[in-house]
Structure 1
């Protein structure tokens, strides 16, 4: 039996003592032999595991020292510097550029082709619409044109009755050729008629309507006073009766309820001579015996409402009122004849309003004076009246006459310019525009004073 070292014996005794006398905080009873063996076995396993972990760590450490790692950045730089990779990237980029260029070229060519096809189709459509619907058909088609119908509405009626191909083209045809004065009534048209022939027939009047006793024509640019004369001439209604009705506030209130969007701004206007000035649309109306004056006037207001309705939303977007639009249109009606002139004149008025300048239209002076003449004197431009747009800025109380649809359109779609002055040649009617007062006075001396 080998001899044990004293220190080893002491160490074993300590272990046995600890097993026989456990910490009272952990267990209250001493452990039996089997439990002691389990604990000893666990201690041995933990020691072995510790050594194993330590060996793995040392092994890992050793292997990490064998070969240094190369970073991703370094590999990327090495790849970028590789001549072979650079050539590949350039080739790939060039191929992508070629593909993009081909796609752009195809798209542009496709758009040009589509645009060309649409343009050619539109040209063919308009060209064919200007020609007779059927040159080989002289079949008579009876068409009724209601009283107060606009050119646009007449075009729609003719298209619906298979007389023309396009009502829209007919409407623009009449505008471009400044064709007005179409009369209501019954007509006999045929598909082989040209737009010009149809227009002349409409101006001459139809075969008549049953029970129509007279045609009441209100020319474009007529004011309330002149409309009263026209009514008295065509009917048995006295002018004084008409003027009394124009001053009847209760009658205006009735119309206001019937046409609120049209007459709202007229109802709010101050210092007006007649609230319905500018709202009696110029057209030819059928007059029947027994028709009341109120019915005639209501028909005129209804026609104005039908013309203005498409513009109501745009008027709001422009921060204008119907009263202001019709006021400018009534000035444009008297100041210009040609469509292009009217659009330029409308823009001149807008330019002056934006600059805080008075409109200075002679039409306002003539209305304030209650006269109809061509020349206004300097003294007359000082007349004391809210309608005097020489001494008063802004739009004034309201319209000065009943403007045509062409003048209304000129105000809604003016031609952009930088002019602040214009003057018309009294003999030819040609209108000349100027940016400065000095330029304007030269034109006045040349075309008016001389």
Structure 2
């Protein structure tokens, strides 16, 4: 009996929930539902606000990108568009050249308006141009800049002579050119751009001009809108381009660009024929090898900052680091802008094994005579004077 009673007790029906409990549960669920709805509302609101902000920022960025990069900057920038360039590549080129603000916006603008037929070539754009002006020029083909002057740098001329030429043939004065040659900020920017060329020049002590010898002899065209810095940069770039194949040779010969151009500038003025220039370079190296002064008249005239047909003992004793009559070694730096032929002569001197230490030229015939000793040199001079 007790067992049966126990079983009956175990199977007694559960008591149903009271109405008050059910109402409490409903209130709790309703509160949770309202909280979830508020959270969703706030999340959606925040997302909407963020989308509006991003949209406004994008709109503003696109609007600015459609405008000229700098409407007050009319400086011309050279942009070379290679054959086969895609619109995306052209846009990237324009952005990297600081002509437009955004390559992405430019690319989409071109697609949106279905612009086509862009042509390869050399263009001259400015940051003040609108996208439509740039696109129009790209469709027409390469642009031409107005020529406003030409500057001829002759082989063997000094930097101050170049300044005079610039003053006569451009809108810039000689003094403006020389002032730029002393502009440390500009010189450092050039060194950063052409480190292999200018490292030894910029580290040289006691030089009159760091760029003496580094403005390559050529005819340079001056364009409308071009700055003096751009013109000088083009001159330095020309030197770098021509010396690039020889940088390895210069290093292998335990030379620097500064030393190479220094000797080349002397060779330029001491010899005319290529064969003589190579022999003269050999004489200089022979003297340097035994710590003998180079004793070039060119160095003395540069030290005096004048040109003379003949030098006096007082002249050759002038107190200047450029005076290679009294100082051994290479001196501070180049004396003029040498030709590529003279540079090659320094890098490939001839007849060094002949141990020549002296040379003199017959001013009437141009023939150069070489001697081993000072006594031989004096005898040669004496015979030429007769």
* Deviation by residue 1:142-196 (Cα, 9 ceiling, x = unmatched): xxxxxxxxxxxxxxxxxxxxxxxxxxxxxxxxxxxxxxxxxxxxxxxxxxxxxxx
Contact 2:145 2:223 in 1 (8 A): no
Alignment partner for residue 270 of structure 1, among 205, 211, 214? 205
Distance in 2 between the 1:406 and 1:248 partners?
30
Q: Is the 8 A contact 2:283 2:356 kept in 1?
A: yes
Q: Deviations over 1:221-275 (max 9, x none)?
A: 0111100111112112100001111111111101000001111101110100000
Match of 1:393 in 2: 328
Work out whether 1:430 is the aligned partner of 2:367.
Answer: yes
Instruction: Work out which structure has the larger RCO, using CA pairs closer than 8 Å and 6 or more positions apart in sequence.
Output: 2
Q: Which residue of 2 aligns with 1:346?
A: 281
The answer to whether structure 1 residue 442 and structure 2 residue 352 are counterparts is no
In the TM superposition, what is the alpha-carbon distance from 1:396 to its structure 2 partner? 0.2
Instruction: Please state whether the residue corresponding to 1:230 is helix, strand or coil.
Output: helix
**Deviation, structure 1 residue 372:** 1.6
CA distance in 2, matches of 1:374, 1:220: 19
Q: How far did residue 428 of structure 1 move?
A: 2.6
TM-fit CA distance, 1:210: 5.4
User: Does the aligned pair in 1 maintain the 2:265–2:342 contact within 8 Å?
Assistant: yes
Q: Distance in 2 between matches of 1:414 and 1:342?
A: 8
**CA separation in 2, counterparts of 1:287 and 1:443?**
48
CA distance in 2, matches of 1:287, 1:303: 15
Distance 2:335 2:234 in 1: 20
Aligned to 1:318: 253
TM-score using structure 2 length = 0.61
Counterparts of residues 366-405 of structure 1 (less than 5 Å)? 366-405=301-340
The count of aligned residue pairs is 241
Pick closer, same or farther for the CA change 1:293–1:210 going to 2, 3 Å: closer
1:284 aligned residue: 219
Structure 2 CA distance, aligned partners of 1:324 and 1:374?
Answer: 26
Cα drift, residue 359 of structure 1:
0.3
Out of 293, 297, 301, the position equivalent to 2:228 is: 293
TM-score (norm. length: structure 1): 0.52
1:245 aligns with 2:180: yes
Contact 2:145 2:224 in 1 (8 A): no
- Alpha-carbon offset, residue 290 of structure 1: 2.3
Any stretches of 5+ residues in structure 2 without a counterpart?
1-143
Q: Residue deviations 1:22-64, cap 9 Å, x none?
A: xxxxxxxxxxxxxxxxxxxxxxxxxxxxxxxxxxxxxxxxxxx
**Structure 2 contact 261–343 (Cα < 8 Å) conserved:** yes
Q: Deviations over 1:52-99 (max 9, x none)?
A: xxxxxxxxxxxxxxxxxxxxxxxxxxxxxxxxxxxxxxxxxxxxxxxx
Equivalent residue, structure 2, for 1:113 = none
Q: What SS does structure 1 have at the residue aligned with 2:255?
A: coil
Aligned residue for 2:232, secondary structure, equals helix
- 1:270-307 Cα deviation digits (max 9, x unpaired): 10000000000010111113211111100000000011
Indicate yes or no: 2:358 matched with 1:421. yes
Assess if the C-alpha contact under 8 Å between 2:216 and 2:238 holds in 1.
yes
The residue aligned with 2:155 is 220
Aligned equivalents of 2:224, 2:364: Cα separation in 1: 42
| Within-5 A mapping of 1:19-38 | none
Which structure 1 residue ranges, 4+ long, deviate > 3 Å from structure 2? none
**1:107-139, Cα deviation, whole Å (9 max, x unpaired):** xxxxxxxxxxxxxxxxxxxxxxxxxxxxxxxxx
Distance across 2 between alignment mates of 1:340 and 1:278: 22
Q: CA RMSD in A?
A: 1.2
Larger Cα-atom Rg: 1
- Whole-Å Cα distance in 1 between the matches of residues 303 and 359 of structure 2? 21
Q: 8 Å contact 2:316–2:325 — kept in the other structure? A: yes
SS at match of 1:213: strand
